[in-house]
Amino acid sequence: MKKSIVMLGAPGAGKGTQAKLMSEKYGIPHISTGDMLREAVKEGTELGLKAKEIMERGELVPDDLINAIVKERLARPDCEKGYILDGYPRTKAQAEFLDSVDGVNFVIFIHVPEELIVKRLVLRRTCPNCGAMYHLEFNPPKRDNLCDKCGTPLIQRDDDTEDVVKNRLAVYNEKTAVLLDYYRNRGILYKIDGNRPIKDVLQSIVQVVGE
Ligand code: AP5
């Protein structure tokens, strides 16, 4: 069966961490709209120029821009066996658009108490070269501030400051949390406790999605 998976959850819940592991396990692509936008910002494309300031404030990029890049990405041949969408959909309009493009069969909702989110994100570090992700306390690199995989100096995302994280959380509660009911009503929402070691969270997801 084609695995069309959506990762839902507040900023910092662990969507990207789990999506990467699931992508390796299932051999289907991890599609992160946040990563696609950051790439566009880095390359200075028209989309990147439009998205940069919106992302720095922790607001959402307009639906029509995001819908267009997701539609194009899902049409590529590597999505034929399935995909893992991380950070999309984020509004009801995006969810309805996704329904018009393809059918979703698993929505994995990773739940983490809000009071843990700020700490998770402010201490997150990422590798700008290979995309590996670390946390200075929970998952530190072996060598100080260097990526374990490729040795590149790690960076902190521009939107991982305390003020912006609080705004991202407010935006999530206002615009994205409605999707929980949207998918729950269709019987495809699976709630996973994200406040556990990374491998235990993955194990719970695999119990839902299957080997
Ligand atoms: P995006 O990049 O999607 O950010 P986000 O949704 O806020 O999610 P994060 O990447 O911050 O968190 P995550 O849940 O993936 O957690 P992670 O695994 O990294 O979006 C950024 C911006 O782009 C948005 O604000 C918006 O402007 C724009 N955008 C993107 N998509 C859009 C859309 N569809 N529509 C409109 N605008 C859009 O983990 C976090 C930290 O915790 C890491 O350090 C990790 O190591 C650690 N960690 C993970 N799991 C565990 C665990 N089990 N225990 C302990 N630590 C853990």
Residue 55 exposure: Cα atoms within 13 Å on the Cβ side: 22
Strands 30-32 and 3-8: unpaired
* Average pLDDT of every residue of the chain: 95
Strand order in the sheet with 3-8: 30-32, 82-86, 3-8, 106-111, 189-193
**9 C-beta closer than 6 A to ligand 1:** yes
pLDDT tens digits along 27-37: 999 999 999 99
For residue 11, report the distance from its CA to the centre of ligand 1, in Å.
5
30 lines ligand 1 (CB under 6 A): no
89-138 pLDDT, tens digit each: 999 999 999 999 998 999 999 999 998 999 999 999 999 999 899 999 98
Q: Which of 22, 23, 37 to mutate to test the pocket of ligand 1 (most atoms within 8 A of CB)?
A: 37
Is 168 assigned a catalytic role?
yes
For residue 153, say if its preceding peptide bond is cis, omega within 30 degrees of 0: no
Q: For residue 144, what are the contacts with CB-CB under 8 A and spacing of at least 6?
A: none
Q: Does ligand 1 lie within 6 Å of residue 61's CB atom?
A: yes
| Beta-carbon count within 10 A of 113 CB | 9
Atom of ligand 1 nearest to the CA of 51: 27
For 46-102, what is each residue's pLDDT tens digit? 999 999 999 999 999 999 999 999 999 999 999 999 999 999 999 999 999 999 999
Band (1; pLDDT cuts 50, 70, 90): confident
pLDDT of residue 211: 84
Please confirm, yes or no, whether 196 is among the known catalytic residues.
no
Domains of the chain: 3-112+167-209 (3.40.50.300)
